[in-house]
Amino acid sequence: MITTTGLTKVYRSRGREVTALDGVGIHVEPGEVYGVIGRSGAGKSTLIRCINLLERPTSGTVTVDGQDLTALAGRGSRAARPLRLARGGIGMIFQHFNLLSSRTVQGNVELPLEILGLGRRERARKALDLLDLVGLADHARAYPSRLSGGQKQRVGIARALAGDPKVLLSDEATSALDPETTRSVLRLLRDLNRQLGLTVLLITHEMDVVKSVCDSAALMEKGRIVESGVVSDLLATPGSRLARELFPVGGGASGADRTVVDITFHGESADRPVISRLSRTHDVDVSILGAAMDTAGGRQVGRMRIELPGRPEENDAAIGFLREQGLTVELPGQGTPGPVAVERELTEEGA
């Protein structure tokens, strides 16, 4: 539904060049929720703004629903008519909602319909339907200043859906909201994605967002996509940074001559009593250093960090047993950065 190839954006200011996007290629399947995660300054915002050409990429192409948008002329408000029409079919929601304080809630939702040239009565009918869909029908005549952050974002979503888009772009839409409101807005996005078959591309710096709604995810760093894929596949991929960041499990080895093992459970293996079997069949004492169970991409997933007595080479049999059970097994501290450090990196950025 959305494909970018070799997307590059270079900003020039006072002779200096800043590369915000460096050959980004993403592919979003129709009907999926695709999350791009990264720190501030990683280029996520530039990426999403290049999708509807609010920013014109320096090079590369953007194709949405089979249409090459980069081939259409214009930038910003100078966009030529074909690009403006294409934008009408792409909804967008923003971190700070961007609602007009001069219009009522209903008036805000009607704005894109005015741009589309709908008649007064049809606009009102459609706006009220959309507000009903996001659960704000009784606030139609209120002004945005009277709404809470979560309600404002719901209005933003209703407005974004006015043009019956196939694609919704979400630019840090929950970053200004508290955790509970974030969950309810994400639930709404997920429902819309399922009910309307809406394809959603969202950018965020919050791992929880990816965990709770995304089917696929991409990790972005310094203008590049460093890892991407279907979330449940990533979890089964040894060495996946996204998997580690989605399910960080803490705890270091309690001493020398110990083996720390990270296990990822997914699919059927999540239901089996693997640890107790390991303990019984191999007669080892297993200590659990950290563990997390959650659903990601609609599937039950767990990660656990355990410690076995003895050095890694002495535990070959035990590790082999775990692998046979269909688990993803990794030995941290062997060339890859520990999940603790990675988690801190991601939470540090805040805004």
Binding site for other proteins (CB under 8 A): 52, 54, 76-79, 84-88, 90, 92, 94, 96, 98, 100-105, 111-112, 114-116, 139-143, 145-146, 159, 162-163, 169
**CB of residue 115 vs other proteins: minimum separation in angstroms?**
5
Min. distance of Cβ 212 from other proteins in angstroms? 25
Shortest separation between residue 171's beta carbon and other proteins, angstroms = 9
- CA 260 distance to own-chain centroid: 30
What are the residues whose beta carbons fall under 8 Å from the beta carbon of 150, sequence distance 6 or more? 177, 181, 184, 185
Cα gap 15→97, rounded to integer Å: 34
Pick the closer one to other proteins by CB: 83 or 308. Answer: 83
Instruction: Give CA angle at 18 (17, 23), nearest 5°.
Output: 115
Q: Amino acid identity, residue 185?
A: V
Q: For helices 149-160 and 120-133, what crossing angle results, to 10°?
A: 130
Dihedral, 218, 220, 224, 227 alpha carbons, nearest 10: -40
**Closer Cβ to other proteins, 114 or 178, answer by number:** 114
Helix H or strand E encompassing 231: helix 231-235
Shortest separation between residue 114's beta carbon and other proteins, angstroms: 7
Closest CA to 92 of 146, 120, 144, 54: 54
Least separation in angstroms between CB 111 and other proteins: 6
As measured in angstroms, the least distance from the Cβ of 11 to other proteins is 12
Choose between 45 and 212: whose C-beta lies nearer to other proteins: 45
Question: From the CB of 52, what's the least distance to other proteins, in Å?
Answer: 6
Q: Shortest distance, CB of residue 257 to other proteins, whole angstroms?
A: 57
Nearer to other proteins, 92 or 319 (CB): 92
Query: 64 or 274, CB closer to other proteins?
Result: 64
Specify burial of residue 22 (Cβ count, 10 A radius: 0-12, 13-18, 19+).
middle
Beta strands at 199-204 and 33-38: parallel, antiparallel or unpaired = parallel
Least distance from C-beta 195 to other proteins, angstroms?
22
Residue 54 beta carbon to other proteins: minimum distance, rounded to whole angstroms: 6
- Rounded distance between C-alpha atoms, residue 225 and residue 186, angstroms: 23
Rank residues 36 and 284 by Cβ distance to other proteins and give the closer one: 36
Between CA 150 and CA 188 the distance in angstroms is 11
Residue pointed to by tokens 């399947």: 29
CA torsion sign for 236, 302, 194, 221 is: negative
Structure-token pair, residue 205 = 């710096």
240 sits in the region (left: phi over 0; alpha: psi -120 to 50; else beta) called beta
Q: Which is nearer to other proteins, 1 or 105 (CB)?
A: 105
Q: Residue 91 or residue 251: which is nearer to other proteins going by CB?
A: 91
Helix, strand or coil, per DSSP, at residue 138: helix
Choice between 10 and 116, CB closer to other proteins? 116
Give which of 167, 292, 231 is closest to 36, Cα–Cα.
231
Task: Measure CA 99 to chain center.
Answer: 23
* Closer CB to other proteins, 142 or 291, in the complex: 142
